[in-house]
Structure 1
Amino acid sequence: MQKPARTSSQPGSSRPWWPLPLVVLLAGCSIAGAGVQQLTPPGVGPHPTLPRPARSGLIPTVNIAPAEQWPQGSVPQAPVGFKVTALAAGLDHPRWVYTLPNGDVLVAESNKPAPEQGAKNVHADGLRGKAMGMVMKRAGAGTPSANRITLLRDADGDGVAETRAVFMTDLVSPFGMALVGDQLYIANANAIVKVPYETGQTSIASTPIKVTDLPAGANHHWTKNIIASGDGSKLYATVGSNSNIGDNGMEAEQGRAAIWEVDLSTGSKRIFASGLRNPNGLGWEPQSKALWTVVNERDELGNDLVPDYLTSVKDGAFYGWPWSYWGQHVDTRVKPPNPEMVAKAVPPDYGLGAHVAPLGLAFSDARMPAQYASGAFIGQHGSWNRKDLTGYNVVFVPFAGGQPSGPPVQFLGGFLSKEGKAHGRPVGVALDAKGALLVADDVGNTIWRVVRSE
């Protein structure tokens, strides 16, 4: 097995993300406040105009929608011609969904793991960590990880699962899932594991077998997603960065901010693409067969920087993090600079707007109506570092000829109340066996199903 590749010949550290005086101020700041959601803010499109960086100084913009339960009987808002049902409610922080060939749906109920023994917890150390913990708790992200996968089955097709079974337990913050032949692969926060699977099983008692380790430790970005190649010979795994901009030095980032390629016959792996701050959703574009991902970019450069993005993933490409963004736009906060790596940085394909936090990605097909039959559904978890709230929805980006062909349009909304509270926050998205869209809502603790009503 190959060792994680170094991303630079000049490893170094950048300035701390938030200075200590800020931490004290942040601990008492309010995160309440509604914002007008913009579907197409600056930073959207294949060649977005980027504003000048706006450094936040001691006090960054902190505005995240506090969690509030869905009112009784209410559901997210879908376009005309669609209806929304709760496939399952009352789950425990559902983050990811995966459809099995027989139509059963697997749900990863998961949250941030505790740091591994001996690892520095960069997200919880000191007053800053306590302040951020308070913010995340109010945002609905402070619950312990259930470390569980649940199986849902809607046998009668009414959009509500009448079977809910505990499929697997005792995992380590599970996220991505992929079935290859009779083996089910699960991406834990620290490793890819596998178990044997038989069609129709509602639970698995087998002890998972480790396929390969994944970079873990402090896990500033802990979610690990996987997708299988078309021939089933390889897995591709996402690993987010351990900081905003390499704040703890590049030694803490070895093997991170990358997509790994894992050979299933040998267990060996290599970095397929790097410089991706926090990639999550993965999908094979149906026409080109290219691998695509959605990426959460860096914070604290202003309301409209840096655009999160949707991009094809090129073998061997470097996408800039932490030294630059959107190609050769240098982030002067990162020390020491690295002009050699900046010169190699590949700009992404399509901006989604700054701070929308895209996590889920699912390519559509002809089972959807014509206007949604070719393109990508993206679950946007929502902003925290922007004055006006953005994201908190599922958008659809149309495709033609294997490339995005128009601006994002909202497909599922209503997650924010008029008062700026979050009834829900979308994460994973997937098509079910009948072509309906499934959306994991980790604040609403629900899997939503969106289907044609006519």
Structure 2
Amino acid sequence: MSPRFVILFTLIATVLSACGDTAQLPISAGIGPDPQLPPPNPTLIPTVNIAKAVGWPKNASPFPAPGLSVNAFATHLDHPRWIYVLPNGDVLVAETNAPDQPVDGIKSWLVKLAMNKAGAGRPSANRITLLRDEDRDGVAETRTVFFEGLNSPFGMALIGNDFYVANTDALMKFHYNGGETRITQNGVKVLDLPGGPINHHWTKNVLASPDGSRLYVTVGSNSNIAENGLDQEVGRAAIWEVDPVQGSYRLYASGLRNPNGLAWEPDGRVLWTVVNERDLLGSDLVPDYLTSVPDSSFFGWPYSYFGQHVDERVEPQRPDLVASARVPDYGLGSHTASLGLVYARNSTWPSPFDNGVFIGQHGSWNRKPSSGYRVLFVPFRDGKPNGKPIDVLTDFVSKDGEAFGRPVGVVLDKQSALLVADDVGNIIWRVTPVRLQR
């Protein structure tokens, strides 16, 4: 980055940080099955409050909840976003970033500046790395490039010997033999995914159905509230159900602004997701959320949020669709950027961590004070969220507002430890109950 660019960026960031609004409610007000939804407070100049990415000081780490311990499973990665655990215990990490996007006007230019400050502005490594902990001491000793030459890869899924990767613009399939540390053959495209030059929400996740017959793929919107036109949103803001044999799909659920994490609740085999909601309605709106996703459900975007709360900025209005909008199950706080999701039912974890979901919150840019920047746990009972969330890992941001790290993907390894991708710290963290260490 040139000195002139740094000076310009600093001046713009200073001006913007003094503008916008400040939250009037605590972040907890936007959490739970019935979050508070105050009147919108859009401002002429948007709230921009970004934690500058600085990385972790030597020997530092996030702070675990009482009774939990954290250590670095792998370090010196290149923007690790998503994690997948193979049947033999090998851990795959998508080292990835947004594809190149054109600067189209002042708004997209400011977004690009913001992403640079947040540590997301460098080119994508476009690879998946394999990590192997051969002696099971909680630290990966072996590291190999599993795939390379991908296009902003994110989600991964294995069905038999078929390994699927969700690139930003296509769902790909590769042949995998158990125990392999590198795959060199060309993949086969299953189907195209919405991409294009804007590609606002570029991450695409993928999850196999319990019987392996279908794949579920998340596709975020191409805008905040369809301001680029609804013709740019075809197939977006949705979860696709894909037939991997036929290479066909249908919209399983829609009206989801930016779904990312996917998980199956084991009893009812109900699909759950976490969703990033819209921006620029003030620091107290709109809560991101965790929700079950019935077949053919609609969640309101762009016309409404959290059920039938109409977004007056969207034209033309669609009261018929708003009337059918499903209310999400559980608010996660406004602007938290909740991305990672894994269901945990494991007797080796102490209560309440033995039944519920872990969620990675990447952290806000459009809220003052900041929100997210943590890993939390939402307890479940009878297949539904039950009670307040519990902090699992915190202190990703310094007292001066600088980001040591930002959690993204979360997964349980073969020893039931929680792995957390930190794309600013370039680390995979490993969290265990103290009595389960190593």
Give the TM-score taking structure 2 as reference length.
0.93
Equivalent residue, structure 1, for 2:66: 80
- What is the rounded CA distance, in whole Å, between the counterparts of 1:364 and 1:283 in structure 2? 10
Question: Mind listing any 5+ residue stretches in structure 1 that lack a counterpart?
Answer: 1-22, 116-120
Instruction: Decide which of 362, 366, 370 is 1:389's aligned counterpart.
Output: 370
Question: Hey, what does 1:293 align to over in structure 2?
Answer: 273
Q: Distance in 1 between matches of 2:140 and 2:50?
A: 32
Query: What are the equivalent positions in structure 2 for 1:241-390 lying under 5 Å apart?
Result: 241-366=221-346, 367-390=348-371
Q: Report whether the alignment pairs 1:60 with 2:51.
A: no
- What secondary structure is seen at the aligned counterpart in 2 of 1:406? coil
SS of 1:96 mapped into structure 2: strand
Q: CA deviation at 1:265?
A: 2.2
Q: Which moved more, 1:40-49 or 1:333-342?
A: 40-49
Q: Is 1:31–1:66's contact at 8 Å kept on the other side of the alignment?
A: no
Tell me the TM-score normalised to structure 1 length.
0.90
Give 1:224 deviation, angstroms: 0.1
Task: Provide Cα deviations, 1:227-267, integer angstroms capped at 9, x if missing partner.
Answer: 00011000000000000000111000000000000012211
| Separation of aligned partners in 2, 1:373 and 1:406 | 14
In the alignment, the residues of structure 2 paired with residue 315 and residue 220 of structure 1 have an alpha-carbon distance, to the nearest angstrom, of: 25
SS of 2:409's equivalent in the other structure is strand
1:158-197 aligned within 5 A: 158-197=137-176
CA deviation after TM superposition for structure 1 residue 373, in Å = 0.6
| Cα contact 2:138–2:430 (8 A) shared by 1 | yes
Matches within 5 A, 1:3-152: 29-31=15-17, 40-56=27-43, 58-115=44-101, 121=102, 124-152=103-131
Distance 2:427 2:387 in 1: 30
Give me the whole-angstrom Cα distance separating, in 2, the residues matched to 1:445 and 1:286: 32
* SS of aligned partner of 1:61: coil
Alignment coverage as a number of residue pairs: 421
The counterpart of 1:198, out of the listed 158, 177, 180, is 177
Equivalent residue letter for 1:163: T
The offset of 1:28, in angstroms, is 6.0
Same amino acid, percent of matched pairs: 59
Q: What is the rounded CA distance, in whole Å, between the counterparts of 2:26 and 2:165 in structure 1?
A: 33
CA separation in 2, counterparts of 1:434 and 1:369? 15
The letter of the residue matching 2:194 is P
- Quick check: 1:147–1:171 contact (8 Å CA) kept in 2? yes
Larger RCO (alpha carbons 8 Å, 6+ apart)? 1
The aligned residue for residue 6 of structure 2 is: none
Where does structure 2 lack aligned partners over 5 or more consecutive residues?
1-8
Displacement, 1:135?
A: 1.5
Asked whether the 8 Å contact 2:16–2:45 carries over to 1, the reply is: no
Question: Which SS does the other structure have where 1:251 is aligned?
Answer: helix
The residue type equivalent to 1:67 in the other structure is A
| 8 Å contact kept, 1:290–1:312 | yes
Answer 1 or 2: which has greater strand percent. Answer: 2
Residues 313-322 or 132-141, more deviating? 132-141
SS in structure 1 at match of 2:172? strand
Q: CA 1:177–1:39 in 2, change beyond 3 Å: closer, same or farther?
A: farther
